[in-house]
A and B are shown apart, each in its own frame.
Chain A
Amino acid sequence: MSRFRVPGRGRVNPDRPVTFRFDGRPVQGCEGDTVASALLANGIHLMGRSFKYHRPRGAVAAGSEEPNALINTRRGPGRAEPNTRATMQEIWPGLEARPQNCWPRLSFDLGAVNDRAYMLFSAGFYYKTFMWPRSFWDKLYEPVIRAAAGLGVSPSEEDPDTYASRYLHTDVLVVGAGPAGLAAARTAAEAGLRVVLVDEHAEAGGTLLSEPQARIAGLPAWDWLTAELAALKALGVRVMTRTTAIGYYHQNMIGLCQRLTDHLAELPADTPRERMWRLRAARVVLAQGALEKPLVFDGNDRPGVMLAGAAQTYLHRFGVRVGDRPVILTSHDSAWHAAFDLQDAGAKVAAIVDTRAAPPAALAGEAQARGIRVLAGFTATATSGRLRVRSVRVHPVSAGTVGAGEEIACDCLLMSGGWTPSLHLFSHTKGSLAWDEDRTTFLPADTPEDCVIAGAGRGLWGIAATLADGAEKGAEVAASLGRGASAPALPVEGDRTGSGTSHTELATDRSPSRARAFVDFQNDVTAKDLRLAVREGMRSIEHVKRYTTNGMATDQGKMSNINGLNIAADALGRAQPKVGLTTFRPPYTPTSFGAFAGYHRGGHFEVTRRTAIDPLAEAAGAVFEPVGQWRRARYFPRPGEDMDTAVARECRATRTAIGMFDASTLGKIEVVGPDAVEFMNRMYTNPWTKLQPGRCRYGLLLGDDGFIRDDGVIGRLAHDRFHVTTTTGGAARVLNMMEDYLQTEWPELDVWLTSTTEQWSTIALNGPRVAELLRPLVEGVTLTEEAFPHMSVAECTVAGMPARLFRVSFTGETGFEVNVPAPMGPALWQRLAEAGAPLGLTPYGTEAMHVMRAEKGYIIVGQDTDGTVTPADAGLTWAVGKAKPDFVGKRGLARPDLTAPGRRQLVGLLTEDGTTLLEEGAQIVLDPAQPVPMKMVGHVTSAYRSEAAGRPIALALVEGGHGRMGETVHIPMPDRTIAATITGCVFHDPENTRLKLAAPGGDA
Chain B
Amino acid sequence: MTRFNAFNLVRHALTGNRNWTEQWPDAEPKAEYDVVIVGAGGHGLGCAYYLAKEHGITNVAVIDKGWLGGGNTGRNTTIIRSNYLYDESARLFDHSVDLWEGLSQELNYNVMYSRRGCMMLAHSVHDIQSFKRHIHANRLNGVDNRWLTPQEAKDYCPPLNISPDARYPVLGAALQERAGTARHDAVAWGYARGAAARGVDIIQNCPVTAIRRGPSGGVIGVETARGFIRAKKVAVSASGHNTMVMDTAGVRLPLESFPLQALVSEPVKPVFPCVVMSNTVHAYISQSDKGELVIGSGTDQYTSYSQRGGLPLIEHTVAAITEVFPIFNRMRMLRKWGGIVDVTPDRSAIISKTPVQGLYVNCGWGTGGFKATPGAAHTLAWTVAKDEPHPINAPFTLERFRTGRLIDEAAAAAVAH
Interface residues of A (CB under 8 A from B): 51, 79-83, 119-120, 122, 125-132, 134, 137-138, 142-143, 145-147, 149-159, 161, 165, 247, 249-250, 253, 255, 276, 278, 428, 430, 511, 513-514, 528, 532, 535-540, 542-543, 546-547, 549, 554, 556, 583, 585-587, 590-594, 596-598, 600-606, 608, 625-627, 705-707, 862-863, 866-868, 892, 895-898, 919-923, 925, 932-934, 936, 939, 972-974
Contacts and interface: CB of A to CB of B under 8 A. Distances in A.
Nearest to A865: B411
Interface stretch (B2-10, B29-37, B354-362): B2-10
Contact of A51 (B90, B126, B130, B267): B267
B318 A596 contact: yes
Nearest to B183: A127
Contact of A603 (B101, B139, B167): B167
Given A158-B327, A159-B326, A593 B20 contact: no
A127 B323 CA distance: 35
B391 interface: no
Sorted nearest first, the 5 A-B pairs with minimum C-beta distance are: A867-B411, A513-B16, A150-B291, A537-B22, A921-B132
B266 interface: yes
Contacts of A430: 306, 308
A933 B112 contact: no
Given A126-B112, A247-B311, A605-B167, A528 B17 contact: yes
Could you say which interface size class chain B belongs to? Answer: 35 or more
A153 B269 contact: yes
A532 B20 contact: yes
17 contacts: A80-B330, A126-B112, A127-B110, A137-B113, A142-B114, A151-B267, A159-B329, A250-B308, A537-B23, A587-B334, A590-B332, A593-B332, A602-B167, A705-B404, A867-B410, A921-B134, A933-B142
B105 A119 contact: no
Interface string B120-136: 00011110111111111
B271 interface: yes
A594 B112 contact: no
Given A154-B328, A543-B69, 5 more contacts: A82-B266, A83-B266, A161-B330, A585-B337, A602-B323
B21 interface: yes
B87 interface: yes
A153 B9 contact: no
B329 A155 contact: yes
Contact of A536 (B20, B315, B405): B20
Contacts of A253: 311
B369 interface: no
Nearest to A538: B23
Contacts of A428: 308
A131 B327 contact: no
Contacts of A122: 12-13, 17
A594 B322 contact: yes
Contacts of B168: 605-606, 626
A80 to B, nearest CB: 7
Contact of A556 (B142, B271, B290, B334): B334
B333 interface: yes
A542 B405 contact: no
Contact of A939 (B133, B183, B318, B336): B133
A398 to B, nearest CB: 27
A154 B268 contact: yes
A863 B101 CA distance: 36
B16 A511 contact: yes
A537 B23 CA distance: 6
B289 interface: yes
Contacts of A539: 26, 67, 204
A155 B328 contact: yes
Given A127-B109, A249-B311, A598-B315, A142 B289 contact: yes
A596 B267 contact: no
A583 B113 CA distance: 27
A761 B159 CA distance: 41
Contacts of B166: 602
A522 to B, nearest CB: 9
Nearest to B124: A626
Contact of B310 (A250, A556, A868, A892): A250
A152 B271 CA distance: 11
B105 A131 contact: yes
A939 B136 contact: yes
Contacts of A547: 185
A602 B166 CA distance: 6
A425 to B, nearest CB: 13
B217 interface: no
A127 B4 contact: yes
Contacts of A867: 408, 410-412
Nearest to A974: B139
Contact of A597 (B4, B329, B408): B329
B95 interface: no
A158 B291 contact: no
A934 B404 contact: no
Interface in B149-192: 166-168, 180, 183, 185-186, 189-190
A604 B319 CA distance: 10
Given A147-B270, A536-B23, A868 B406 contact: yes
B402 interface: yes
B18 A82 contact: no
A592 B268 contact: no
Contacts of B129: 863, 920-921
A144 to B, nearest CB: 10
A923 B140 contact: yes
Given A596-B314, A608-B167, A862-B126, A134 B102 contact: yes
B319 A128 contact: no
Nearest to A532: B17
A921 B320 CA distance: 27
B297 to A, nearest CB: 11
B6 A866 contact: no
Contacts of B327: 154-159
A596 B266 contact: no
B56 interface: no
By CB atoms of chain B within 10 A, which of A137, A513, A546 has the most?
A: A546
Contacts of B102: 134
